[in-house]
């Protein structure tokens, strides 16, 4: 490891041992093709955006459902939500 500082307790001897220990093991993604790795990178990168988008879609759906229920109850003359029915 070339970036190790001379006065560092992590000298080249320790770096060589670590490198030798890792040499026999393969990473989980070593056997995957490059295009699969890029799909994984894109999915991880887009996951916050997709989560926010999915929450918006779910919220719109729930609001529409609630709006339909309120309109149905209003046409029937009943209230599905009465503040006095809620426990304290």
d(CA 35, CA 57): 30
Residues 81 and 69 sit within 8 Å (Cβ to Cβ) = no
Tokens of 44: 């991880």
- pLDDT per residue as tens digits for the range 21-71: 555 566 666 788 999 999 999 989 989 998 999 999 999 999 999 998 888
Strand blocks (E) in the chain: none
Residue 87 placed within a domain: no
Say whether pTM exceeds 0.75: no
- What Rg do the C-alpha atoms of the chain give, in angstroms? 29
Structural domain includes residue 25 = yes
Instruction: Give the domain range for residue 64.
Output: 12-80
Q: Would residue 6 count as lying in a domain?
A: no
- Asked if residue 56 belongs to a domain, the reply is yes
Structurally, the chain folds into a number of domains equal to 1
């Amino acid at each position: 490891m070339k970036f190790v500082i001379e006065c560092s307790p992590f000298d080249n001897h320790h770096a060589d041992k670590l490198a030798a220990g890792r040499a026999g093991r393969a990473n989980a993604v070593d056997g995957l093709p490059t295009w699969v790795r890029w799909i994984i990178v894109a999915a991880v990168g887009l996951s916050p955006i997709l989560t926010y988008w999915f929450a918006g879609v779910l919220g719109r759906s729930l609001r529409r459902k609630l709006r339909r229920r309120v309109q149905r109850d209003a046409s029937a003359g009943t209230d599905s939500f009465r503040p006095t029915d809620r426990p304290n």
